[in-house]
Amino acid sequence: MATSTGMARMLRDLSSGSGPGLISGDPLECARILGVDGVAVSLATGGALSELVWSSPGASERLEDEQYTLGEGPGVDAMGSCSVVVEPDLTRVRPDRWPVLLPTLNGLGVDALFCFPLRIGGVCLGVLTAQRSTVGPLSAAAMDDALILAAALTAVVLDGGERMALFASAESTAQLHRAAVHQASGMISIQAGVSVAQALVLLRAHAYRHEIPLLRAAEDVVARRLRFRDIDDGPDPSFERRG
């Protein structure tokens, strides 16, 4: 499997560890090398994708947030199966495969998706997702580059040292994209008397029902504008706008 000259440069940037985040290198340059419009890397905790750690701005970031909020999509599938998911034409995807996400993808202008698990053996650490606004497969060279990049990103994550430890423990100093979501899940768990995993489901349901981003709902919980209380027929969210 050969590596293009551009990808060789990208791999050197990744291995430098010079950036402030867990992953170095420019995601926009990575997207250009792969011939796509954007890329993103989300890592897993507890067997599910939970934190966006590297992305190009715009549609890729919004795509990761939508998948996280809805709990469905190609990245979720790639994580669950620990295998590559390639959909070069989303108009040909069965509507019942991602029934809630597919209409959202139309609004984002995403027409093709390519997801590569960051795996070591049978364990999936996260997913690299590439998206494009035009229909069509990746070239053979781009597929090779993406597979090599996924392997390199896996090595970066495994060698993340202190920064990876901060991510794993969800410390506030880790500057996590979804730090508020992790904090809100803990708060809801206490308020509603449920597990943290169940609390995240409640938060997702609230965000979906009110058609707001999950991060915004989480920020409302952290700011104590949104509370979940335990009532006889189940946890019930109450909302109060202050200030």
CB 38 within 8 A of CB 131: yes
Which segment of 102-116, 117-131, 152-166, 206-220 scores lowest on mean pLDDT?
152-166
Cα 145 to Cα 11, 38, 152, 203, distances in angstroms = 10, 15, 10, 37
Rounded-to-integer distance, Cα 138 and Cα 149, Å = 14
Interval 47-65: pLDDT, tens = 777 788 899 989 999 999 8
Region 209-227: mean pLDDT is 85
Interval 173-202: pLDDT, tens = 344 556 677 778 788 888 888 877 778 778
Residue with tokens 């970066």: 156
Single pTM value for the model: 0.72
User: Would you state the structure tokens that stand for residue 43, as one six-digit string?
Assistant: 């890592």
Residue type, 58: G
Rounded-to-integer distance, Cα 207 and Cα 199, Å = 12
Long-range CB contacts (< 8 A, 24+ apart) of 164-173? 164/22, 167/22, 167/43, 167/51, 167/53, 168/45, 170/45
Torsions phi, psi for 116 (to 5 deg): -125, 115
Question: What is the sign, positive or negative, of the torsion defined by CA atoms of 205, 210, 215, 218?
Answer: negative
